[in-house]
Amino acid sequence: MENIEKLQEIIDNSNNIVFFGGAGVSTESGIPDFRSVDGLYNLKYKYPPEQIISHTFFQYKPEEFYRFYKDKMMCLDAKPNKAHTFLAKLEEKGKLSAVVTQNIDGLHQAGGSHTVYELHGSIHRNYCTKCHAFYDAEFVKNSKDLIPKCTKCGGIIKPDVVLYEEGLDDETVTNAINAISNCDTLIIAGTSLVVYPAASFIRYFKGNHLVLINLSETSADKMAGLVIHGKVGEVLSQIKI
């Protein structure tokens, strides 16, 4: 309770908040994260997840890639939860300048947020690797063959998602770093902070209040002025705006 009151005070007194989140922001929408006990890393697959969703696998074992990706990463029925809708409201009130997310599920936009920097891309954008024609997530998820193919040229369709071994989009990185560098409050939530370079961007923060909301401990707990170990949706929904 004391922590919620502190968070309320910080949010009341901030006018340029940035939210930096990860897979833990969407677990309350039913999408598994990677590193929780019931996360994807603890399920047993033939290959570890970081190997399956790598550039090499997409190129040389596209069936394995798409089997895992469609089944575990494309949760098209998931709905935004209390964290997503709270952040959209905070933006609408003019208090939040950006959401920087490592998630690829599009739930911040579905929840009503406008300025969202998706460091790892989105399952909702997909392009033919040959002719660059655009396809939505439903087309990819429901393609009759396991590997979705372009209806125009027959090329393999690739999600606009940053796979392991691939670089981040320059413009998205610049926007994310600018937002973090200029905010007065940074709320980090639902991320283990072990995926780089994304996790390193929080080092650009030089504002007044660093808040961390996560179920488990992270490497940034020591840096934060306020640490709340709890569920991000449950925590944020107690804040009045």
The DSSP output letter for 93 is T
- Cα separation, 234 vs 207, whole angstroms: 25
- Cα separation, 22 vs 32, whole angstroms: 11
Give the list of residues 6+ apart from residue 55 with CB closer than 8 angstroms, or none: 163, 164, 165, 166
- Contact flag: residue 127 with ligand NAD (CB under 6 A): no
- Contact flag: residue 85 with ligand NAD (CB under 6 A): no
To the nearest whole angstrom, how small is the minimum distance from the Cβ of residue 130 to ligand NAD? 26
Looking at the Cβ atoms of 26 and 185, the one nearer to ligand NAD is 26
Q: Which of residues 18-47 bind ligand NAD (CB under 6 A)?
A: 22-24, 26-28, 31, 33-36, 39
Looking at the Cβ atoms of 180 and 215, the one nearer to ligand NAD is 215
- Contact flag: residue 52 with ligand NAD (CB under 6 A): no
Looking at the Cβ atoms of 39 and 62, the one nearer to ligand NAD is 39
Q: Distance from CA of residue 79 to its chain's centroid?
A: 14
| Tokens found for residue 9 | 């005070």
- Contact flag: residue 159 with ligand NAD (CB under 6 A): no
Cis peptide preceding 148, ω within 30 of 0: no
To the nearest whole angstrom, how small is the minimum distance from the Cβ of residue 131 to ligand NAD? 27
Strand order of the β-sheet with 96-101 is 116-118, 96-101, 17-21, 185-189, 209-213, 226-228
Examine the residue annotation and report whether 55 is marked as an active-site residue of this protein.
no
- Contact flag: residue 216 with ligand NAD (CB under 6 A): yes
Contact residues for ligand NAD, defined by CB under 6 A = 22-24, 26-28, 31, 33-36, 39, 102-105, 120, 189-192, 194-195, 213-216, 231-232
Residues classed as catalytic: 120
